[in-house]
């Protein structure tokens, strides 16, 4: 299978997507949702690009390196935003985002 050579990156992408989706949902439950707006927006962006890249790698896209570079940028932006908030879900999301950004940069290089 073509995706087996990318299995490690696919796993990291999936973990980041799950963390972002969890953070997104948890942020919507916070008392001051308006304060969490940028975090929520970036959670969505990050989950979506991670999901897209995961699927693209599984089908052996010829655009893998370029997509991974974009994904790294989005993951880092999301991680930076989540890191600003003290909520556990935000801190866990930031960790997953930074790990994913690093893995994507290595892949794209």
Other Cβ atoms less than 10 A from the Cβ of 65: the count is 12
For the domain spanning 2-108, the CATH number is: 1.20.1270.360
Angstrom distances, CA of residue 2 to CA of 61, 66, 89, 105: 10, 18, 34, 21
- Segment 62-84 shows an average pLDDT of 97
Average pLDDT, the chain: 94
What is the CA angle 83-88-92, rounded to 5? 60
Domain ranges of the chain: 2-108
Residue 1, pLDDT > 50, answer no
| pLDDT classification of 63: cutoffs 50, 70, 90 | very high
Residue 79: its pLDDT value, please?
Answer: 98
Residue position matching structure tokens 């299995």: 7
């Amino acid at each position: 299978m073509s995706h087996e050579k990318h299995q490690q990156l696919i796993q990291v992408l999936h973990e980041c997507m799950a963390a972002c989706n969890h953070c997104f949902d948890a942020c919507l439950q916070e008392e001051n949702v308006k304060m969490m707006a940028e975090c929520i927006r970036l959670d969505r962006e990050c989950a979506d690009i991670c999901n897209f890249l995961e699927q693209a790698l599984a089908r052996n896209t010829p655009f893998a390196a370029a997509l991974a570079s974009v994904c790294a940028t989005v993951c880092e932006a999301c991680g930076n935003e989540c890191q600003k908030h003290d909520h556990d879900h935000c801190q866990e999301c930031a960790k997953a985002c930074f790990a994913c950004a690093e893995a994507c940069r290595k892949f794209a290089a």
